[in-house]
Amino acid sequence: MTLETVLFYVLGGLAVLGALNLILQRHPIHSALSLILVMASLAVLYLLLGAEFIAAVQIIIYAGAIMVLFVFVIMLLNAGEEERTNLSRMARYVGLPVAAVLLSGLAYLLYRAWPVDLLVQPHPSLGQTRPLAEMLFKDFVLPFELTSILILIAVLGAVVLAKKEL
């Protein structure tokens, strides 16, 4: 096994464990920390694919900005531990098996349509800064600008909601 394969399994395992922990933890801060672990493992997985820029941006945006806000809000509201209710009978005996069947069906279909080695390939330059910038600002400039306008509108909406009189 090459070093890359070992790293892939370790990081994939960390990401899955983090995601599971995110659901199973009862305290919001612990859940948020698990989510950060997932983000960080994903970033290193991007790095393994040679996408340096995307890896760094993944950390800066998700772990460094969005999750900081999550943690900030949880601290500010002083959210306590969740009350754990017993699963309803219907959820336990019908919901979980159905969810499992659905997920495995989806996974199987995805795998049949695009085999794994086709789905994820290290690309020599796609994740680097310059090719990515050329794609964003030449080929996909209209969707990119539309997205930024959408985000701007969302920010305006948040400001208006938060501060009724300006």
Partner 1 sequence: MTDWLTRNAVFVITLAKIGLVLFVLLTAVAYLVWVERKLIAHIQSRWGPYRVGPHGLLQPLADGLKFLFKEDIFFPHATSRFVYLLAPFLAVTLGLMAIAVIPFGSGKFELLGTQTGLYIADINVGLLYILAVTSLTVYSVALAGWASNSKYPLLGGLRSAAQMVSYEIALTLSVVGVLLLAGTLSLRELVEAQQGHWGGLLPRWFIFPQFVAFLCFFISGVAETQRLPFDLPEAETELVAGFHTEYSSLKFAMFFMAEYAHMITASLLVTLLFLGGWLSPFPAGEFWAFTRYLPAAVAAGLAVVFLQDSFHHQPLSHRVLVILVGLALAGVAWGLFTGPALLELVQGPFWLLAKAAIFLFIFIWTRATLPRFRYDQLMAFGWKFLVPLAVLNIMVTSFVVAWGAD
Give the footprint of partner 1 on this chain (CB under 8 A). 27, 29-30, 33, 36, 52-53, 55-57, 59-60, 63-65, 68-69, 71-72, 75-76, 128-129
CB of 98 to partner 1, least distance (A): 35
Q: Are 128 and 57 in contact (CB under 8 A)?
A: no
Complex with partner 1: residue 76 or 90, whichever CB lies closer: 76
- Determine if residue 78 is left, alpha or beta; phi over 0 gives left, psi from -120 to 50 gives alpha, anything else beta: left
Complex with partner 1: residue 15 or 31, whichever CB lies closer: 31
DSSP string, 16-67: HHHHHHHHH-SSHHHHHHHHHHHHHHHHHHHHHTT-HHHHHHIIIIIIIIIH
Listed residue (58, 50, 57, 48) closest to 10, CA to CA:
48
Tokens of 148: 């930024």
Complex with partner 1: residue 103 or 158, whichever CB lies closer: 158
CB of 106 to partner 1, least distance (A): 32
CB of 96 to partner 1, least distance (A): 29
CB of 60 to partner 1, least distance (A): 5
Complex with partner 1: residue 19 or 128, whichever CB lies closer: 128
